[in-house]
Structure 1
Amino acid sequence: MEIRIALAQIDTCVGDIEQNTQAILAWAARAAAEGAHVVTFPEMTVTGYPIEDLALRASFQRAAQAAITSLAEELVRTGLGDLTVVLGSVGAPQASPSTPGMRPTNEAVVISGGVVRAVYAKHHLPNYGVFDEFRIFAPGAQPCVVEVSGRRLGIVICEDIWQDGGPVAQMDAADVDLLLVLNGSPFEQGKGHLRTDLAARRAREVDAPVAYVNMVGGQDDLVFDGGSFVMGADGTLLASAPQFVEHLLLWDLADDDAPDHHGPIAPPLDPHEEVYQALVTGLRGYVRKNGFGSVVLGLSGGIDSALVAAISADAIGGEQVFGVSMPSVYSSEHSKDDAADLAKRIGAHYRVQPIAPMVDAFQGELHLEGVAAENLQARVRGMILMGLSNAEGHLVLATGNKSELAVGYSTIYGDAVGGYAPLKDVDKSLVWALSRWRNNAALDRGELPPIPESSITKPPSAELRPGQVDQDSLPPYDLLDEVLDAYIENAEGRAELLARGFDAAVVDKVVSLVDRAEWKRRQYPLGPKVTALAFGRDRRMPITSRWREPLD
């Protein structure tokens, strides 16, 4: 029998079990209205994902289990009892051979006819990068196959298809007609093709199509991009959903021996658009899920604050963006003009608060010089933003980029203050590229580009002393980003960097700056992960360390 499969890529919030369950009901009703026999939701749909140590709380486990029971009853009450619903949640504790004591499971639940028909516990538990599931969950062991209208559907969860062996290896012998994969797979540049390539390989292994459903939305420093898809048994892409939006992807599983059906295929995003939309999604999720209605940031007229402001306007609307120009005696007129122009272009609120009187008050008592005097200006600006946040309820955005954060080119308690840092995982070279992309996208739509051209083309400067530019103390950003990519992303040491052809003086300077700045990075706000290795959970280095790269 031919059956219709619905993949519901939805945006959930960790801990909001009631609203997550209501969303499941609403999307299940949409799927049924479209003639679906099965609707599949992402990993941990009931609880949100990742739940981290919430999984270990008995009260949280009980609430999730109660929600599933109520959901099964509500599906029947609303006339959806014939629909098979597959979703993710946290399971009851069980003994684990790999960890002492009892641990909950990361489970998939199958509901139909008002009852839970099957439960599958995730077998492969990721323990790398941002994932720390091995210490939280107990692994499952048995594969899960359910029958719907005479068709056999295998069910696995996310990491299960990334690792060889385990339940996927048993699906071919189980003779499944379709493999359903529930996912909470965070966005990374270039990860999309890895998912589809992997699914194509698994589809060939089980000799059946693979339906891959992924969540969407921002959760702390993670961004989930959706992009759900169906891969044919021969490795052909049969259907796909757009990225970064909630979506119901419908696909028909053909009768036995009939050719696979083809469904809608979403056009791929430009690589820069993909990263930009990830940043927008991450910021929007953090603002809304943490109860903020607006953001405030310093507008310097430079490229970093301009890009953050544009992202903010796209995420929550320009009318909810509050920009503050905080000129010092060293601020150029063009910087002040560019800040005002930017705010006008994106429809943001804008105010000017000179910092000279406040700096003078401090200096009248402290008489600071050199770097201390420069940092004082940044810290006064930080106090202004935090004061406005306290008084008006805005979320403060830090505007620094990954290159600056890597080498410590930011002032702790100054420009590093804030609750969220949209560019934390975006190096300076990509900042320029994204700004160009955003302006060109506006031109393509016949709109005014949000970022003033001079903000993109002017030499970067903190404007903390006369004539200052970033390249006074740093290598050119294109070179700096190459060295940082090799040293941080690829974990190459001095010898490997020199073998690449980098100048020894540049290598030694950059390596030294990176190693000395770990304490700053630990205190920096969280921001959306968009690369394979972001500062924070991806890269965990000791602050107190005497290790230095050998000089020979």
Structure 2
Amino acid sequence: MNFLHVASVCPSLTLAHPLKNAAHLKELLPRLEEDGIQAAVFPELCLTGYTCGDLFFQERLLDETLKALNLIVLASEGTSLFFVVGAPLRVSSNLYNCAIAIQNGRILGAVPKTILPNTGEFYEKRWFAGASEAKDRSSILLLGQTVPFGCLLFEATEAVFGLEVCEDLWAPVQPSQHLALHGAQVIFNPSASNELAGKADYRRSLVVGQSARLNAGYVYASSGVGESTTDLLFSGHLLIAEGGRLLKENKRFSRESEWISAWIDVDRLTTERGQNEGFHSAKALGLLSSSVPQRIPITLAPADLERFDQPVGPFPFVPQADEARKERCEDIFTIQSHALARRLNASHAQKLVLGISGGLDSTLALLAGVRALDLLGIARKNLLTVTLPGFGTSERTRANAIALCEALGTSFREISIAPSVLQHFKDIGHDPKVQDVTYENAQARERTQILFDLANQEGALVLGTGDLSELALGFATYNGDQMSSYGINASIPKTLVRYLVEHAAQEDARLAPILRDILATPVSPELIPQTSEGSMSQKTEELIGPYELHDFFLYHLLRYGADPQKLRFLAAQAFGERYSEEVIGHWLQLFLKRFFANQFKRSAMPDGPKVGSIALSPRGDWRMPSDAPSEAWLRE
């Protein structure tokens, strides 16, 4: 489990007063370390201020900068905090705008800015030389130390860091691309970006977008309001992003020193890169620059996970914002219906057969099925919905199934499976009083047989109802409800199924009462007779655990390759007091056992459309041997 605690810092600034600015920084360093920060970045030219103008030509300012830098280096002795400050450095006859990495009394390296803006309000080429003018130099003498200089990578056991400065991010080709292709997982950017109306949005999109393109962490710190306001205003914009997600942002325009911190999941980034063909292709296409970064080994303080305070969403498949959730639901219904319409065309079928139970999954399949027929201009009567009551069917689910089919205008049949299943028990010598796996699976297989035979009669496709959560857990009868002509819900987890049905209820007032009662019905296979009081004797989540936990495990296991220790940790963060660590551990063990044991069912799963980033099709996203053991994952 590899989390990195990083900070983006904007200290108070006194323009053109390096020693006073060093004092501000010195005050912040122990506070950052007390907060458990492992790595931090300060703004561009933070020792002098970015807006010194022609004062950068003054020897006094440059001499004072070296004194200030020395004070900061001395102040860092005995600490493990890795931090980056900005300062002008003279090398030979050139002045460079540099990002300087410091740790434990040492200057680890200095990286000159590559892209010097020189239009509009910017005219850096008046004072500074770009990194290209120092390409033949690999080190400089600075404060009595021989310091690596140029394109650098800082390598710790936990992560590899790279540095770029402000405008470097805004260029068509960025140094961070080169650094990432050479292994940098976290990019630190000391910046001085002035404020304009709307510019903060664009700046944010750059940082978040770059973290997505590079599958990297991106830590950005811009100069604050202490800069000169002769012509410009700076806001102290602080941003931390990871893999396309904005982890933390400040409110800007603070008149005091401030910082933000976040936890970057380095394991997650490593997994994402390993699955990103773009990284391998970029190297193969020769997109790596001919220059190879110098690698500087560093040692970081261990992450103090007792301080972990980053929100972890309990429902990773479901967008939190209402508008985003609505848009996601519409996208999924569109994918489902268009995929099914294409399959109907390809098979020259005009009809569908669907077993409707009054539960969530068959409800979602029905809603997608009628949309597909509407797309093709085929009458809804061509969707034959069949309720197949058995020994455990409740009146509530049966009534909801019938009401929904009537409201949607589909054809409908009711066929009791009890007589044929009892005959089957007699044929194989099974006592109906023994309500074991044979008792349950015989019902599921009888239903599937009837549906396929009806499909043969009608020249139709059997529409599958099983969802992603059931596929992961193997909670389906092999050659029973596991099989269909087309698995319309195959990549939709149970937690998202609920939101899709709720979305349909919000969009259609006529269906809303039926759909909301279906949503309120406990999830159950209804294969065991009801209790003497007439209530369900089988509730799925009492048998196999909460679907919200299983969907959480599934997402982080498949999307980011999280190991069991990390799954437990993240689940504890996400669900808080809702589940104890013991309960989380219990259901995680069950999830892992079932996930491995039931791959054989997924290896024979029917076709179905992928709607999100996680899917279990053996022809696409998940190619796993059916006989792989789970022991390594179950061992703590």
Normalised by the length of structure 2, the TM-score is: 0.44
Cα 1:288/1:450, change in 2 over 3 Å: farther
TM-fit CA distance, 1:281: 1.5
Distance in 2, matches of 1:543 and 1:335, equals: 35
What residue number does 2:469 align with? 403
Q: How does 1:210-221 map to 2 (within 5 A)?
A: none
Structure 2 residue 339 is the aligned partner of structure 1 residue 273: no
TM-fit CA distance, 1:274: 1.5
Structure 2 residue 635 is the aligned partner of structure 1 residue 551: yes
TM-fit CA distance, 1:197: 6.0
Structure 2 residue 624 is the aligned partner of structure 1 residue 541: yes
Structure 2 residue 536 is the aligned partner of structure 1 residue 452: no
Cα 1:344/1:494, change in 2 over 3 Å: same
Cα 1:308/1:365, change in 2 over 3 Å: same
Structure 2 residue 612 is the aligned partner of structure 1 residue 531: yes
Q: Secondary structure at the match of 1:397?
A: strand
Q: Secondary structure at the match of 1:462?
A: coil
Q: CA RMSD in A?
A: 2.6
Structure 2 residue 390 is the aligned partner of structure 1 residue 328: yes
Q: Secondary structure at the match of 1:478?
A: helix
Q: Secondary structure at the match of 2:562?
A: coil
TM-fit CA distance, 1:396: 0.3
Of 286, 298, 311, 2:343 maps to 286
Q: Secondary structure at the match of 2:628?
A: coil
TM-fit CA distance, 1:353: 0.4
Distance in 2, matches of 1:331 and 1:291, equals: 34
Work out whether residues 354 and 462 of structure 2, in 8 Å CA contact, stay in contact via their aligned partners in 1.
yes
TM-fit CA distance, 1:297: 1.0
Distance in 1, matches of 2:629 and 2:330, equals: 41
What residue number does 1:478 align with? 548
What residue number does 2:527 align with? 464
Cα 1:533/1:471, change in 2 over 3 Å: closer
Cα 1:365/1:373, change in 2 over 3 Å: same
What residue number does 1:387 align with? 453
What residue number does 2:69 align with? none
Amino acid at match of 2:539: V
TM-fit CA distance, 1:426: 0.3
Distance in 1, matches of 2:364 and 2:491, equals: 14
TM-fit CA distance, 1:507: 1.1
Q: Secondary structure at the match of 1:452?
A: helix
TM-fit CA distance, 1:320: 2.0
Distance in 1, matches of 2:601 and 2:399, equals: 31
Amino acid at match of 2:393: S
Work out whether residues 387 and 413 of structure 2, in 8 Å CA contact, stay in contact via their aligned partners in 1.
yes
TM-fit CA distance, 1:495: 1.9
Cα 1:550/1:468, change in 2 over 3 Å: closer
Identity of aligned residues (%): 29
Amino acid at match of 1:504: G
Instruction: Structure 2: state its 5+ residue gaps.
Output: 1-176, 179-204, 214-322, 375-379, 530-536, 573-580
* CA distances 1:482-521 after superposition (whole Å, capped 9, x unpaired): 1221222322121221232362211111111111110001
Work out whether residues 306 and 451 of structure 1, in 8 Å CA contact, stay in contact via their aligned partners in 2.
no
Instruction: Structure 1: state its 5+ residue gaps.
Output: 1-163, 166-192, 202-266
Distance in 1, matches of 2:634 and 2:360, equals: 36
Distance in 2, matches of 1:376 and 1:472, equals: 22
Q: Secondary structure at the match of 2:586?
A: helix
* CA distances 1:430-450 after superposition (whole Å, capped 9, x unpaired): 00100111121123xxx5449
Larger Rg: 2
Q: How does 1:480-495 map to 2 (within 5 A)?
A: 480-495=550-565
What residue number does 2:484 align with? 418
Work out whether residues 440 and 449 of structure 1, in 8 Å CA contact, stay in contact via their aligned partners in 2.
yes
Amino acid at match of 1:284: A
TM-fit CA distance, 1:547: 4.8
What residue number does 1:54 align with? none
Aligned residues: 293
Of 365, 368, 372, 2:427 maps to 365
Work out whether residues 379 and 415 of structure 1, in 8 Å CA contact, stay in contact via their aligned partners in 2.
yes
What residue number does 2:495 align with? 429
Distance in 2, matches of 1:319 and 1:521, equals: 32
* CA distances 1:371-427 after superposition (whole Å, capped 9, x unpaired): 111000000001000111111111001101110111000001111121101110000
What residue number does 1:222 align with? none
Structure 2 residue 402 is the aligned partner of structure 1 residue 340: yes
462-471 or 282-291: which moved more? 282-291
Work out whether residues 345 and 450 of structure 1, in 8 Å CA contact, stay in contact via their aligned partners in 2.
no
Distance in 1, matches of 2:328 and 2:472, equals: 23
Distance in 2, matches of 1:483 and 1:512, equals: 12
* CA distances 1:257-310 after superposition (whole Å, capped 9, x unpaired): xxxxxxxxxx99712211221111211121222211111010111111011111
What residue number does 1:206 align with? none
Work out whether residues 307 and 451 of structure 1, in 8 Å CA contact, stay in contact via their aligned partners in 2.
no
Amino acid at match of 1:376: A
Distance in 2, matches of 1:498 and 1:505, equals: 10
Of 598, 604, 629, 1:517 maps to 598
